[in-house]
């Protein structure tokens, strides 16, 4: 069995990818420093799989501690890098915290994979935020679309890390890389044993919806209904986290079988959904009452964008097609489990 290293393995996306990789027959070594997750996530992964994954508590910015993972597991052939801070607003207030953590951990990973990995295949967890606000005639977004000026230090870390990886692929002949640009990941594992664990008041839409439905928050604010969209609210491409996780398995499969040196893929459904459409889908799917009101626009929000995922559809043999009601129901079941 081939071994895959996951940094940020107990985070929202990392935990779902750990499950899918093991189900696909890979050995996993997960690392995390629990800066935005808890050891209980390992229990959830273990329950779903019926066995625990190998795990080490490591801060990836600490190169010496990180190297110990390679001492213990000299058979790592691929790595998926999730370990990063992701709060856009916090990144604006504390940019150095983001550059130090998100870039330094990534540089350490690349160096260790190139010098110590049995193979040096890296999948980097990027984001649609690298594209900025596309013009209407640039929708849906294709991978070739040039980056715009980063809208936040968080966005800049994603742009910079992609650039660092490209330079390293050019410099180190044994290094292969795949960049996955996520649109808006939502939902939870159907078992309701793992899901998103927002820290404090959620910034993202779906955790705010589920917490409001659960009575933890009083009312959802829909940020703006005067955008240039059919119902006036912003449009995004919401992708089910389990569909997203499966794309990572396909990306690793492809790298290990074909050894492609550099690939970039958009991971989205290809369909845009407005905030109001999502709210209505949640109510329809769960039958739960949801208090919401129209509020001011949120500064920094992009009006509308969605992916052209056809490159991932064709080259990875993958698509994200779980119905939105099923996705929102999974988020709701996860929220209900947290309450109890």
> Would you say 27 and 54 are in contact if contact means Cβ atoms under 8 Å apart?
yes
Is residue 266 a contact partner of residue 183, using CB atoms and an 8 Å limit? yes
Distance of closest approach, residue 10 Cβ to ligand UD1, in angstroms:
17
| Interface with ligand UD1, residue 131, by CB under 6 A | no
Q: Is 84 helix (H, G, I), strand (E, B) or coil?
A: coil
CA distances from 336 to 91, 138, 176, 193 (A): 30, 39, 41, 11
Q: Is 159 in the site for ligand UD1 (CB under 6 A)?
A: no
Query: Strands 184-186 and 235-236, how do they pair?
Result: unpaired
- Report the distance separating Cα 78 and Cα 98, nearest Å: 25
Q: Using CB under 6 A, which of 97, 291, 298, 339 touches ligand UD1?
A: 298
Which of 73, 154, 182, 265 is flagged as catalytic? 154
Please identify, using beta-carbon distances, which residue of 11 and 30 lies nearer to ligand UD1: 11
- How far apart are the C-alpha atoms of 208 and 95, rounded to whole Å? 25
Considering only residues 300 through 319, tell me which ones interact with ligand UD1, judged by CB under 6 A.
301-302
Give whole-number Cα distances, 178 to 99, 222, 247, 286, in Å.
21, 35, 11, 37
155 scored as a contact of ligand UD1 (CB under 6 A): yes
Is residue 182 part of the annotated active site? The answer reads no
User: Which residue in the set 9, 69, 180, 234 belongs to the binding site for ligand UD1 (CB under 6 A)?
Assistant: 234
The interface mask with ligand UD1, positions 201-220, x = CB under 6 A, is: --xxx--x-----------x
The CA distance from 138 to 206, in Å, is 26
Comparing CB distances to ligand UD1, the nearer of 108 and 125 is: 125
By annotation, the residues acting in catalysis are 154
* Residues near ligand UD1 (CB under 6 A): 86, 88, 127, 129, 151-152, 154-155, 184, 203-205, 208, 220-223, 234, 236, 275, 298, 301-302
């Amino acid at each position: 069995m081939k071994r895959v290293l996951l940094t940020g393995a107990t985070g929202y996306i990392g935990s779902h990818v750990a499950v899918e990789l093991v189900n696909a027959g890979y050995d996993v070594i997960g690392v995390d420093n629990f800066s935005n997750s808890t050891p209980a996530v390992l229990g959830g992964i273990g329950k779903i799989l019926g066995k625990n994954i190998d795990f080490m508590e490591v801060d990836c910015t600490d190169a010496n501690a990180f190297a110990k993972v390679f001492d213990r597991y000299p058979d790592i052939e691929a790595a998926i890098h999730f370990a990063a801070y992701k709060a856009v607003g916090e990144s604006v207030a504390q940019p150095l915290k983001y550059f130090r953590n998100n870039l330094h951990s990534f540089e350490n990973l690349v160096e260790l994979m190139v010098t110590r990995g049995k193979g040096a295949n890296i999948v980097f967890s990027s984001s649609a935020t690298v594209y900025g606000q596309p013009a209407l005639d640039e929708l849906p977004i294709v991978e070739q679309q040039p980056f715009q000026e980063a809208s936040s230090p968080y966005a800049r870390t994603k742009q910079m890390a992609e650039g660092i990886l490209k330079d390293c692929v050019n410099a180190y002949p044994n290094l292969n890389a795949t960049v996955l640009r996520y649109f808006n990941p939502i939902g939870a594992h159907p078992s309701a044993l793992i899901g998103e664990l927002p820290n404090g008041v959620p910034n993202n839409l779906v955790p705010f919806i589920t917490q409001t439905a659960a009575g933890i928050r009083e009312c959802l604010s829909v940020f703006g209904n005067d955008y240039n969209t059919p119902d006036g609210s912003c449009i995004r491409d919401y992708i089910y986290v389990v569909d997203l996780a499966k794309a990572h398995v396909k990306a690793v499969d492809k790298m290990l079988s074909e050894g492609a040196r550099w690939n970039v893929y958009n991971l989205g459904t290809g369909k845009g959904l407005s905030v109001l459409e999502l709210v209505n889908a949640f109510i329809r799917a769960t039958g739960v009452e949801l208090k919401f009101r129209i509020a001011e626009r949120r500064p920094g929000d992009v009006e509308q964008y969605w992916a052209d995922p056809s490159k991932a559809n064709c080259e990875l043999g993958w698509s994200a097609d779980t119905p939105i009601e099923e996705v929102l129901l999974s988020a709701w079941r996860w929220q209900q489990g947290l309450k109890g």
